[in-house]
Structure 1
Amino acid sequence: MYPNGFFPHGWEPYLLGGLLIGAGVALLFVLTGLIGGMSTVYSSTWSYVVSRPFFQQSNLTRSRVWRLAYAAGLIVGAALWFVLSGQPSRVAVSVPTWQLFIGGILVGYGARLSQGCTSGHGICGLASLSRPSLVAVITFMGTAFLTANIMARVVAPVAGR
């Protein structure tokens, strides 16, 4: 089923990435008391240009400067990784653009519906012992396991014909 194994590039990069993400989020919280969820970066950035009441909430307008710096650090860090690791800066994607667009809309809607994205609940929410984040992560993971198994049993055999 997985010709290159579960971790085609070895497990070390995933462990290192997880440790760096955890350390970065922990460092942000320890040094500033701030919780660094990315879906809130999106909403707080829109507060600059959209006057609708949701985007003008004080928690979004007061936090947008540090959140933009946080997002910029994410982008700079990724660029730095590509430069230092020698990895190609462009990854080929075989998914049609319209599917990426629809997927982005669904993910954005889900992040708003669950009051945070999967990584925000999984990394920041669980670390702060948030019960709603625990419920969200269990829901995300259960749905992911179910979807992966359906895809492996239904779609993959059909595609292999």
Structure 2
Amino acid sequence: MDAYLPALGGGLLIGLSAAMLLLLNGRIAGISGLVAGLARPGERWVADAAFLIGLVLGPPLFALLAGHWPVMRIEGGWPVLAIAGLLVGFGTRLGSGCTSGHGVCGLARLSPRSIVAVLVFLAAGMLTVALMRVAS
């Protein structure tokens, strides 16, 4: 059970922060929307920036509390990561949101559009894993 506690704690913090952003600011915690909001300075810019800064400070806070950095394994090189990032950015615009906006907030609000989006995300992920296993 101890192996699942960090994931449980992280999930609780994500849910709490998404709920607080919605209840206190009336905003959906979709990261792609918050990042896009930084390009449009206005009254929401400070809140968007604060939320995103909090995301960036997550790993250093983890390192401070746990005594080590989170374990991450990235096997792709920079060109693959750059292409993947561009595809994710294109997909979030095409899908009117990202996994955080649709998966965390949209599903909680029972949004039909988010339910369809999450089903597409999951199907695409499963198909990608299946194809990568066949290719290797």
TM over 0.5: yes
Residues 1-161 of structure 1: matches in 2 within 5 Å? 10-48=3-41, 61-88=42-69, 91=72, 93-152=74-133, 154-156=134-136
> Which has the higher relative contact order, 1 or 2, with Cα contacts under 8 A spaced 6 or more apart?
2
The separation in 1 between residues aligned to 2:128 and 2:71, in whole angstroms, is 28
Check 1:89–1:16 CA distance in 2 against 1; reply closer, same or farther (3 A cut). closer
Aligned residues: 135
Unpaired stretches in structure 1, ≥5 consecutive residues: 1-8, 49-60, 157-161
Which is richer in helix? 2
Secondary structure of the residue aligned to 2:3 is coil
More deviation in 17-26 or 81-90? 81-90
Unpaired stretches in structure 2, ≥5 consecutive residues: none
Between structure 1 and structure 2, the one with the greater Rg is: 1
Paired residues of 2:30 and 2:99 also in contact (CA < 8 A) = no
The one-character-per-residue Cα deviations of 1:86-105 (angstroms, maximum 9, x if unpaired) are 22378563311000000000
Percent of aligned pairs with the same amino acid: 40
Kindly provide the amino acid, as one letter, of the partner of residue 100 in structure 1. L
What residue is the counterpart of 1:55 in the other structure? none
Kindly provide the amino acid, as one letter, of the partner of residue 121 in structure 1. H
- When normalised by structure 1's length, the TM-score is 0.74
The root-mean-square deviation of aligned C-alpha atoms, in Å, is 2.1
